[in-house]
């Protein structure tokens, strides 16, 4: 009998020794924990996960941080829905052709301005230094357009008459230009039909017996710059407007 009581007492004591730590752990588990502190800069080299003396820095490799930044940028990019029968592979955004800049500075857009000159109304005056073409209207006014002019080494000045007008002209590069561009690795065609891709653009007005013209362009962003081989280039919409306002025999003054 005494042996049985001794065993029962020992078993109860053992159970109490194991139950008490368990109860303590249970209470500790559900006790309020210190808040998690996260760095506001998730791309930082490390982020503090816990506050207090038990705080543990988590180190991220620099490459991984950059990769996360790339993924964030991709997530912000618009999703393009492709047709169900479109079998062409999706092209990476970085490789897609970018839209060509077609806007020019506001001062190079057509406008009527005050302009004093001794030239008669209907005369074209080209100010190559300031990249403006004036169509004299008389009464101290002129219609002004922005133009592109000859690059360094191709500037010129003088007086001519419009001897020919052409709509969507074809282009035959001079042999000197073909050789000059070939030396740079740019190979020009012997002749190019008129059209939107033609460097002469929508209209051309030929000056005297020279190779110079007032013409349109397939590079409207070049208006206001010195980039041509001596010709005066305009936006297609502007050269079309000028084309309708002048006749063969119009005096052109380039200065």
Distance CA 115, CA 130 (A): 14
Query: From CA 228, how far away is CA 238, in angstroms rounded?
Result: 17
Half-sphere exposure of 41 (CA within 13 A, CB side): 7
Summarize the confidence of residues 183-212 as an average pLDDT: 90
Q: What is the pTM of this model?
A: 0.59
Q: CATH classification of 106-254, choosing from 3.30.160.100, 2.40.440.10, 2.130.10.10, 3.40.50.2000?
A: 2.40.440.10
Q: What is the pLDDT of residues 168-179, one digit of tens each?
A: 999 888 788 888
Q: In what order do the strands lie in the sheet with 111-114?
A: 111-114, 141-146, 132-138, 124-127, 251-254, 158-167, 203-207, 213-215, 232-233
Catalytic residue (choose from 143, 215, 233, 235): 215
Domain range list for the chain: 106-254
Helices (H) and strands (E) counted in the chain, each on its own, are 4, 13
Pairing of β 149-150 and β 158-167 = unpaired
β-pair type (124-127, 251-254):
parallel
Name the residue among 102, 123, 99, 115 with its Cα closest to residue 238. 102
pLDDT at 184: 83
3-state helix, strand, coil in the chain (%, to 5): 30, 25, 50
What are the pLDDT digits (tens) for 32-65?
555 555 445 544 444 444 444 444 444 434 444 4
For residues 3-15, give the mean pLDDT.
49
- Token pair, residue 125, equals 């005056």
Q: Does 160 score more than 50 pLDDT?
A: yes
| Of 56, 57, 54, residue with least CA distance to 33 | 54
Q: Which of 104, 202, 231, 252 is flagged as catalytic? A: 231
Is pLDDT larger for residue 185 or for residue 83? 185
* Known active-site residue 231: yes
Q: Report the phi/psi class of residue 66: left, alpha or beta, with left for phi > 0 and alpha for psi in -120 to 50.
A: alpha
């Amino acid at each position: 009998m005494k042996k049985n009581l001794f065993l029962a007492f020992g078993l109860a004591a053992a159970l109490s020794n194991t139950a008490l730590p368990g109860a303590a752990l249970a209470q500790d588990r559900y006790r309020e924990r210190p808040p998690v502190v996260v760095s506001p800069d998730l791309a930082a080299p490390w982020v503090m996960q816990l506050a207090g003396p038990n705080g543990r820095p988590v180190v991220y490799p620099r490459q991984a941080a950059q990769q996360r930044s790339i993924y964030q940028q991709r997530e912000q990019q618009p999703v393009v829905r492709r047709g169900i029968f479109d079998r062409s592979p999706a092209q990476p955004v970085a490789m897609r052709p970018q839209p060509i800049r077609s806007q020019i500075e506001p001062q190079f857009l057509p406008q009527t301005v005050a302009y004093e000159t001794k030239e008669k109304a209907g005369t074209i005056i080209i100010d190559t230094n300031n990249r403006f073409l004036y169509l004299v209207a008389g009464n101290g006014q002129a219609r002004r357009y922005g133009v592109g002019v000859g690059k360094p080494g191709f500037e010129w000045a003088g007086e001519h008459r419009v001897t020919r007008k052409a709509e969507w002209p074809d282009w035959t590069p001079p042999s000197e230009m073909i050789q000059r561009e070939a030396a740079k690795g740019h190979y020009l065609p012997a002749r190019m039909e008129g059209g939107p891709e033609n460097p002469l653009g929508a209209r051309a007005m030929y000056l005297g017996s020279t190779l110079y013209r007032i013409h349109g362009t397939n590079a409207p962003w070049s208006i206001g710059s010195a980039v041509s081989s001596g010709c005066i280039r305009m936006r297609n919409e502007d050269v079309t407007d000028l084309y309708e306002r002048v006749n063969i025999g119009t005096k052109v003054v380039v200065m």
